[in-house]
Amino acid sequence: MGWQQRGRSRAYYRSERVGSRVVRRYLGTGAVAELAAAVDDLRRLERIIEIRERHAEQERFAAAAAPLLELCDCSERLACAALLAAGFHRHDRSRWRRTRGPKTTN
């Protein structure tokens, strides 16, 4: 919530979650409120830094994993082509099965 103007004075409020509700806590005016606002700003900045670092790490991981995922995709396609050439088929994305020979009538 932060600073609120009440008449001619400014007061600092902090919003906190208590159970499922959000409650505003009055922290006062003057030096105590300035200090509480500075602490809240510092915590907010620390959270932003942590989030940015986490996103950067996820991007580095995705960049490192991209060649591996491409290799897996290529090897899967190659295996599918080899199995199809060997006479196997896959019914509805299930296991690979040997294709039955042509039916003969007597």
Per residue in 15-25, pLDDT tens? 889 999 999 99
First CA to last CA across the chain, in angstroms?
87
Per residue in 44-70, pLDDT tens? 999 999 999 999 999 999 999 999 999
Q: Does the pTM exceed 0.85?
A: no
pLDDT > 70 in the chain, percent: 94
Which backbone phi and psi does 79 adopt, to 5 degrees?
Answer: -65, -40
Which pair of tokens denotes residue 35?
């200090």
Which pair of tokens denotes residue 25?
């806590």
H-helix or E-strand spanning residue 14: strand 9-18
**Residue found under tokens 């897996």:** 72
Q: Please report, for the chain, the start and end positions of each structural domain, with discontinuous segments joined by +.
A: 2-94
